[in-house]
A and B are shown apart, each in its own frame.
Chain A
Amino acid sequence: MSNVAIDWKLVQILVQKDWYFMRKSLAVYLALGAFGLFLISAGSEGTFYAGSVLLVTILISLGIHLVMATVIQERTNQTLAFVMSLPISPREYTMAKVLANLTIFLIPWLILVMGSLAILGFGLEGAGLALIPFAVVILTEIFVAYCFVFAVGLVSESEGWTIAAMVLTNLLFQGVLYGVSHLPDMASTMKGSAIVWNATSISLLGVEIAMIATLIAVTFHLQSRKTDFI
């Protein structure tokens, strides 16, 4: 890729384009997410479980939908040639895709994560507070998984590889869920009635944040080595 300065106005136009095409889906995901939060806060163990599953499912689905719609379908629907006919460099295209995807995912993710934490902190009696570190680690893992699927989608531009990445991350999610909840340091704090951020939960979160940064950096690096864009 060239070292010519990035045209941020053009990048912004491309980011807005992806937001425009995702706006209706995003509204549906947010509405379903609000329903999930309502279930979590409803008070019974059954609705708490149903709401948690719905929330996780919505976040995972949003990530998959986003990558398929903004990256893979741009190739399969042959609109990539239209975009690349604009006065844009591959580096600007990558920047636009990263910014569009991260913001489109991050905003509903933050809303739903904050909503979950608010309910755990204030909506449930006692036990909710103790679940906050675990919830943050698990919900951030969904963000890591999304970044991985996005990176595979953008770099490979392959529907097959992207689906393989989705399958892998969904399997890993089950493993992470089981593994984190069974870590002695995590399991012991989850049974209490106060928030306990210990070395284990902080380390897990730190690793997840490092993984997100690494995945984004690797995406830029691999994109810069590409020689064919259509």
Chain B
Amino acid sequence: MTELAARLEGVGKSYPHFALNDVNLDLPTGSVTGFIGANGAGKSTTIRILMGLVHHDRGTVTVLGQPMPAGQAAAKSNLGFVSEDMRLYKAATLAWHMEFVQSVFPSWDQTYAESLMTRFDLKAAHPIKGLSHGQRVKAALLLALARRPKLLILDEPTTGLDPVARHEVLAALMEALADESRTILFSSQNTLDVEQISDQIAFIDGGRIVASGDKERFLDQWRRFRLDVPQGTTLPVLPGTMASAAQPHGARLQVVVTSRFEPSMAAGYKAAGITVQAIEPLTLEEIFVTTVMSKKAGATR
């Protein structure tokens, strides 16, 4: 049985204008889970529940063996957290922050902190108020990574970063992955970032997990068929297929997307007299958008 760093089972939280419903999410130890959703989909609420900062109304949450929110202090002693809306104290220097976090975490690795400081081109004596947004994110990441956490939770850390800063942050994360026992949850709207570092994927929309699983399986099982459908020919309904975009009914050129690709599907179309012009892989972003749209439209056939 896979060891889990965190598990959410049937978790729900209701607000007047938003509800998180029946969220089930497993974070296997050593995995990197990309958590993808649009603004307001429920990513941050889910993460705050994982951190114990928001109490769930329904379900159970376990983080590093601790029931949440009751065991949050114990869980957080092995946890690093960076969020897009998290700020450091403007009046203090990075050195003060490092000393402060070091005084709390016995696991603090000063050598690693200094190497990250060099890599991120940060100066310990710099007050936080003089740093750019990218530098502040890198400083927050340094403070989270140097405590050598077993679980690293990153809530949209790359949002608002310029391409160079984003690359540096992702590179540091890739290096953090070298420790195979470290588990990472990485939420983002940017599927390219998630695709680069994740091995597990969870899509959230409207407060529900709409799909989750192994990234490679996602990428392997999703395909787009470009079909030439002669007039009078009926498009066969194959398992897991859905229309990928609005297209006129009865049009000759059809685009069909499947989430359960089998090489034999092409033969099925050919047998129906349809020419398969192309079979294309989908990017994670296309998979996410198609999943969300099809759930909304109830279009899965």
Contact = CB atoms under 8 A, between A and B. Distances in A.
B112 to A, nearest CB: 18
Interface in A54-104: 77-79, 81-82, 84-89, 92
Interface residues of A, number: 24
B53 A86 contact: no
Q: Which 4 A-B pairs have the closest CB atoms?
A: A87-B77, A85-B81, A227-B55, A81-B86
Interface in B55-103: 55, 69-77, 79-81, 83, 85-92, 96, 100-101, 103
A230 interface: yes
A7 interface: yes
Contacts, number: 77
Interface string A6-20: 010010010001001
Interface string B2-28: 000000000000000000000000000
Interface of A: 2, 4, 7, 10, 13, 17, 20-21, 77-79, 81-82, 84-89, 92, 227-230
Given A4-B70, A13-B103, A78-B87, A85 B55 contact: no
Interface string B42-59: 000000100101110000
A4 B73 contact: yes
Contact of B53 (A7, A87, A229): A229
Contacts of A79: 86-89
A73 to B, nearest CB: 10
11 contacts: A20-B96, A21-B89, A77-B90, A81-B81, A84-B51, A86-B104, A87-B77, A87-B104, A92-B73, A227-B54, A228-B55
Given A79-B87, A227-B55, A228-B53, 18 more contacts: A2-B69, A2-B70, A2-B71, A4-B70, A4-B73, A7-B73, A17-B100, A21-B89, A21-B91, A82-B86, A82-B140, A85-B76, A87-B74, A87-B75, A89-B72, A228-B54, A229-B53, A230-B54
B65 to A, nearest CB: 14
Contacts of B90: 77
Nearest to B74: A87
Contacts of A4: 70-71, 73-74
Interface string B133-170: 00000001000100000000000000000000000000
A89 B73 CA distance: 5
Contact of A13 (B53, B75, B91, B104): B104
B53 to A, nearest CB: 5
A87 B106 CA distance: 12
B87 A77 contact: yes
Residue of B48, B86, B90, B103 with highest tally of chain A CB at under 10 A: B86
Contacts of A92: 73
Contacts of B91: 21
The SS class assigned to the B binding surface is: mixed
A87 B76 CA distance: 4
A92 B90 CA distance: 24
A86 B76 contact: yes
A230 B73 contact: no
Contacts of B70: 2, 4
Interface string B102-121: 01110000000000000000
A44 B201 CA distance: 77
A223 to B, nearest CB: 13
A88 B73 contact: yes
Nearest to B90: A77
A84 B72 CA distance: 10
A111 B22 CA distance: 56
Contacts of B77: 87
Nearest to A227: B55
A89 B105 CA distance: 15
A85 B80 CA distance: 7
B266 to A, nearest CB: 50
Nearest to B101: A86
B89 to A, nearest CB: 6
A89 B83 CA distance: 19
Interface in B267-301: none
A230 B85 CA distance: 11
A4 B74 CA distance: 10
A170 B92 CA distance: 32
